[in-house]
Amino acid sequence: MLITEGIICLFQNLMILSPVNTEQFILKRSMYIHYNFIERKRKMGLLDSIKGIFSGSKTIEEKLAKWTEDRKSSKIEAYTDESVEKEIRLLAIKALADISRDELAVNTCMKLITDDDNDIKLAACESLKKIGTKREVDRLYYVETTEQDPEVKKALLAAAVSSKERSPRFL
């Protein structure tokens, strides 16, 4: 940048550039330098290795869908933590329901039925209706007896009834 400023001062002293055109000259010169730098790196193949940094990365929804397809419940489970936004947590819980025969998915949903947020509890109950087994029925009934919200109680009972009809998969 110092070289560019030095050239501008020299041109101004020689009256080649007026002060009004100075900013335009700086902008054009810096764009030219930046373009040449990027073009040289591209020709050398150096930009291919860092392509993901500059291009748009996958959205959370796309990642969850891919992990569900690949049955990577451990990665999905990380997005059910309380530190994550509520909408993303709900998407992650629904993604866990799509992974059948997975102990981590069931255990995560069982943990979430005691969450502070009723929407999270309801989503966990819906997921357990799809993937729960007989092993979780006693815990579902116990949590139902201590739950205050009638809507969550109803969802817990529905999950327990649905789970009661299935045999354990993970023994």
What is the reported pLDDT for 170?
44
pLDDT of residue 135: 83
In angstroms, rounded to a whole number, what is the distance separating the alpha carbons of residues 5 and 113? 64
10-residue mean pLDDT series, the chain (171 residues): 57 54 64 63 52 62 90 91 92 90 89 94 93 85 92 92 66 38
How distant, in Å, are the alpha carbons of 23, 90, 106, 108, 152 from that of 77? 52, 11, 10, 7, 22
pLDDT of residue 155: 93
**What is the model's pLDDT at position 101?**
74
Would you call 31 helix, strand, or coil by DSSP?
helix
Contacts 24+ apart (CB under 8 A), 52-58: none
If you write DSSP's letter for every residue of 37-104 in order, what string do you get?
A: HHHHHHHHT-SGGGHHHHSPPPPHHHHHHHHHHTT-HHHHHGGGSTTS-HHHHHHHHHHHHTS-S-HH
pLDDT of residue 49: 47
153's CB contacts (< 8 A; 6+ apart) are 144, 147
> Among residues 92, 146, 141, 157, which one has the least CA distance to residue 119?
92
Residue 79 has what pLDDT?
Answer: 92
Q: What pLDDT, on a 0 to 100 scale, did the predictor assign at position 133?
A: 75
pTM score, whole prediction: 0.63
